[in-house]
Structures are given as structure tokens and as C-alpha cells.
């Protein structure tokens, strides 16, 4: 039987509705608190980045977050970006700061991300927030990276409360943005977690042991059906643009959707799977940051 397709768009819409309701209730109980506010720093005019920023601003407006971009020219250097972050850090009316990646090569991305006030780091990339995540702090107290948060929510919906406990999970990819924090969240959910990466001796054999497989490597269709344990849940984080025969292009994941879907029990599509959950996870973090700063 073909795998059930996990509808990330519907799940994200439901999550955004929950966050909007929570914001409305919290603002009613805190009449003197300002509206939750997010500022997205975008350097340059990269079309994909502009599209992401526009989506974040639109979704924020729909759920009660003042979300706006603070665009900076392509030639912005590290010092200028750090100065802008310092200004936002000091502004009590701004509760979340996000630097849209990638940054120009001339900008020191590590210095920029480290400069964000951890309390306003709604991307969850600051070393202090990463340390809290890997130390096992309760999820309610965390600003964790948005994509892994979205993946975890999809998995919790699949397996129910406590349903992840004891499952074997393999995360393919070890980035600080997805792979490592995803492994930490799954470990906190009592999964037995392995990270596969470019130096793993036999990643296919490892993946075939996984009840849950999370793919986050950035290689189109790298994971075929013969990597999948029958009945496993596959979460495909990859977003890769590939050429079409007609000269156009289309988006595909890190997983061969058709081949894996013939074996897996459930699978996320690309697009329409993890992507919408990332933005919803960001709004969850903005709300959490605002609550902590206005308590």
C-alpha cells in the first residue's frame, strides 16, 4: 500500500491557528504589553530570500505578530549589521530578531548570529539556546530551530502523546540548523537516535533500521526506496531545485518520493511538507519570546 502523504500545509495552518489563539488570549490578560514584534534582517535582494521574508511578514500579520523586514543593501558589512542588531536588541518593543540566511560571503555569519540577544533569537541558533536544547531543557522553555520544531510537531501528530518513546530514529545530515537540533529534540522525546553523515560507512543500511527517517542533506533524491524500512515515517527536509526537460525547474526533496512512498508508512512531500511548518514554528518562537519578555 502506498505511504500516506503527510499534509504539512494543513498541519501548519492548524498550528498557526493555535498560536494566534494563544497570542489573543495572552494579550487580553496583558493589556499593557505591546504587540509581539518580529524584525527580519535581509541583506541584499536574493529573490528566494525575499520570498521567504515576505511569507514570514504575511503569516505574522495573520496571527497577530508585527512582522516586518529590515532590508539592508548588498554591500552591508559585518560592522553595520552588528550595529543594526545591537539597536534591535536594545529596543523593548522588538521581541524577535531573525537574520535571513545565507548572508553575503563578506559578512561574518557566526559573529552576526552570536550577537543576537538569546531572548530574541527566534531562529534558535545562538550558542546559549543551542546549549539549552542539547542539555535537555523542557521544550516549553526553549527557542529551538524552527524547522526541527516543525518536524517534531508532524511526528507527534503521527504517533500521538508519548508515541515516539523507544522508536529508532535516523537523521541524515548533521548541520547546526537541522540535523543536530533534530537529533536533540528526538532524543528528548525518548527516541533512540543516530545521525548519518558524509562519513557514515553504510548510510543505507543504517536508514533501513529506522522507524523514523529525517532527511536533511541538500542532495536531490539521494535517499531511494531501498533505504526505507517498510512502514517507516519519512520526514523530508530537503528543498532542491532541479531542471525539467522542458527547460524549467521544479522542487524535489532529499528523498525519492515515489520510490520511498512505495515502502514507507507515511511521508512528507516536497513542496507542501516541512516548509510550511518552518514558518509556523517561527511564529511559535516569536510568541514564546514575547511571553518571556513581557511576563
pLDDT tier at 46, thresholds 50, 70, 90:
confident
> What are the tens digits of pLDDT across the range 162-218?
999 999 999 999 999 999 999 999 999 999 999 999 999 999 999 999 999 999 999
C-alpha angle with apex 15: 229 to 207, nearest 5 degrees?
15
Domain 31-122 fold is Rossmann fold (3.40.50)
Nearest to 53 by CA among 281, 279, 285: 279
Task: Provide CB contacts within 8 A for 282, sequence distance 6+.
Answer: 38, 56, 98, 122, 123, 146
* H/E run at residue 26: helix 8-29
Banded model confidence at residue 248, pLDDT cuts 50, 70, 90: confident
Query: Cα separations (Å) of 128 from 62, 84, 87, 131, 154?
Result: 30, 21, 20, 5, 26
Q: Name the band, by pLDDT with cuts 50, 70 and 90, for residue 47.
A: confident
Is 100 in the active site? yes
* Cell numbers describing residue 21: 489563539
pLDDT above 80: residue 50: yes
179-202 burial: b if 16+ Cβ within 10 Å, else e: bbbbbbbbebbebebbbbeeebee
* Distance separating alpha carbons of residues 227 and 210, to the nearest angstrom: 9
Q: What is the CA radius of gyration of the chain?
A: 19
Instruction: Tell me, yes or no, if 221 is annotated catalytic.
Output: no
pLDDT score of 148 more than 90: yes
The three three-digit cell numbers of residue 286, written as one number: 516569536
Q: What is the pTM of this model?
A: 0.95
Instruction: Give the N- to C-terminal CA distance of the chain in Å, as an integer.
Output: 50
CATH class of 145-275: alpha beta
Q: Would you kindly state where each structural domain of the chain is located, as residue ranges?
A: 31-122, 145-275
What is the C-alpha to C-alpha distance for residues 183 and 195, in angstroms, rounded to an integer? 7
User: Average pLDDT, stretch 265-289?
Assistant: 97
Could you say which of 121, 123, 236, 256 is catalytic? 123
How does pLDDT run across 101-141, given as a tens digit for each residue? Answer: 999 999 999 999 999 999 999 999 999 999 999 999 999 99
Q: Please, which pLDDT band fits residue 295 given cuts at 50, 70 and 90?
A: confident
Tell me whether domains 31-122 and 145-275 share a fold.
yes
Pick the catalytic residue: 66, 100, 132, 236? 100
Per-residue pLDDT at 41 exceeds 80 = yes
**Would you say 196 and 207 are in contact if contact means Cβ atoms under 8 Å apart?**
yes
Is 114 catalytic? The answer is no
Determine contact, residues 38/95, Cβ cutoff 8 Å: yes
* E strand spans, 6-80: 37-43, 66-72
Mean pLDDT of the chain: 96
Amino acid at each position: 500500500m502506498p505511504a500516506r502523504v503527510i499534509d504539512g500545509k494543513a498541519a501548519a495552518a492548524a498550528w498557526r491557528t493555535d498560536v494566534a489563539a494563544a497570542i489573543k488570549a495572552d494579550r487580553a490578560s496583558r493589556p499593557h504589553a505591546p504587540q509581539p514584534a518580529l524584525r527580519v534582517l535581509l541583506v541584499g535582494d536574493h529573490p528566494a530570500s525575499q520570498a521567504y521574508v515576505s511569507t514570514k511578514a504575511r503569516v505574522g500579520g495573520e496571527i497577530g505578530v508585527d512582522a516586518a523586514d529590515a532590508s539592508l543593501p548588498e554591500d552591508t558589512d559585518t560592522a553595520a549589521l552588528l550595529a543594526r542588531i545591537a539597536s534591535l536588541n536594545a529596543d523593548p518593543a522588538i521581541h524577535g530578531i531573525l537574520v535571513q540566511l545565507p548572508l553575503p560571503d563578506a559578512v561574518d555569519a557566526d559573529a552576526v548570529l552570536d550577537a543576537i540577544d538569546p531572548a530574541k533569537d527566534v531562529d534558535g541558533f545562538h550558542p546559549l539556546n543551542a546549549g539549552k536544547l542539547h542539555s535537555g531543557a523542557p521544550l516549553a522553555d526553549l527557542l529551538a530551530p524552527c524547522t526541527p520544531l516543525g518536524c517534531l510537531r508532524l511526528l507527534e501528530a503521527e504517533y500521538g502523546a508519548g508515541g515516539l518513546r523507544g522508536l529508532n530514529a535516523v537523521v541524515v545530515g548533521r548541520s547546526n540548523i537541522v540535523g543536530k537540533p533534530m537529533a536533540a529534540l528526538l532524543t528528548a522525546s525518548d527516541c533512540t537516535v543516530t545521525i548519518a553523515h558524509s562519513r557514515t560507512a553504510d548510510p543505507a543500511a543504517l536508514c533501513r533500521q529506522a522507524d523514523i527517517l529525517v532527511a536533511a542533506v541538500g542532495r536531490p533524491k539521494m535517499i531511494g526506496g531501498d533505504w526505507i524500512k517498510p512502514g517507516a515515517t519519512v520526514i523530508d527536509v530537503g528543498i532542491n531545485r532541479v531542471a525539467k526537460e522542458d527547460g524549467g525547474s521544479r522542487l524535489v526533496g532529499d528523498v525519492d518520493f515515489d520510490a520511498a512512498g512505495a515502502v514507507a508508512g507515511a511521508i512528507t512531500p516536497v513542496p507542501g511538507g516541512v516548509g510550511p511548518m518552518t514558518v509556523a514554528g517561527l511564529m511559535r518562537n516569536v510568541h514564546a519570546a514575547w511571553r518571556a519578555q513581557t511576563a
